[in-house]
Amino acid sequence: MPTSGDKLGQYTLHELINSGGQSEIWLATDDAGRSFAVRLMLNDSMFAFTEKGRFNTGSETLKACQDQHYIIGYVEHGKLDGHRALVMEYVEGANLKLLLTAGDPVLTENIAQVLIDFASALEVVHDRGFMHLDVKPENVLLSRNGSLRLIDFDLAQPIPNPPRKQDKLSGTPAYMAPEQLLRQPVDHRADIWAFGVSAYELLTMRKPFPGENADEVLRRQLDRKEFIPPRDLNADLPMDLQRIVLRCLEREPDRRYPITSVLVHELKQSLYVA
């Protein structure tokens, strides 16, 4: 794999920002000195069908969901000097999970706007005809000035009508809706569930249905005897905000918000943000 100082096309790599199982993300500059985030696929072998498929699908979906306010900016994707790459906007900040763990004031002092912008990012994706299917605090970046960007579209799919069963179970079990874990038909309302889990976690610092594996998470989702309403953990929450989070976490998709724009509207009303 390339290292710091290497040049791929017009981009010079400077600093490794993040490394996961399938890709690395580098801070890079182009020939004009502008900063970008360059994501490089780690396994680009002949037989890496799943990895290449996800990488390409994620890149194409990101390109289709462009928005100046809530979605990470797309620049280009393809091969750069033989390396499969996605070039994106560079955001100087951290993901919501890291900020929550650190008790960072950029999150805690702007939590109302963060929740609204988070839901607004999903609204953009859904309005473009896609479901993200990997919604979680780790996949939301927040800059030092409070600007939010949704990232990582590798699991995204077109919204089916009617809902459709997924070919395989992919994602993070703690944020997956019951219908996903039960291998039942899924649509964009699985993202609304995942937003509810994320919002609960951001507001209480714990997950609503904790578990070590998918089976344990599902058991807690279906048997809610151990479920704690968010206001029991954070008494400062407005009753309206608890109602919104609980509606996102309804067991049956038909009882959740039908479309994300309604969720965004109610969040704005509840949190008094115009």
- Tell me which residues are annotated as active site: 134
Pairs from 39-42 (Cβ < 8 Å, separation ≥ 24): 39/85, 39/86, 39/87, 39/88, 40/1, 40/2, 40/8, 40/83, 40/84, 40/85, 41/83, 41/84, 41/85, 42/1
DSSP character for 138? G
Crossing angle for the helix pair 260-271 and 239-248, nearest 10 degrees?
Answer: 160
CA 106 to chain centre: 18
Distance, in Å, from the CA atom of 175 to the CA atom of 192, rounded to the nearest integer, reads: 10
Q: Are 220 and 227 in contact (CB under 8 A)?
A: yes
**C-alpha to C-alpha distance for 214 and 63, rounded to whole angstroms:** 31
Confirm if 26 and 40 have CB atoms less than 8 A apart. yes
Residue 186: DSSP 8-state: B
In angstroms, rounded to a whole number, what is the distance separating the alpha carbons of residues 68 and 80?
A: 25
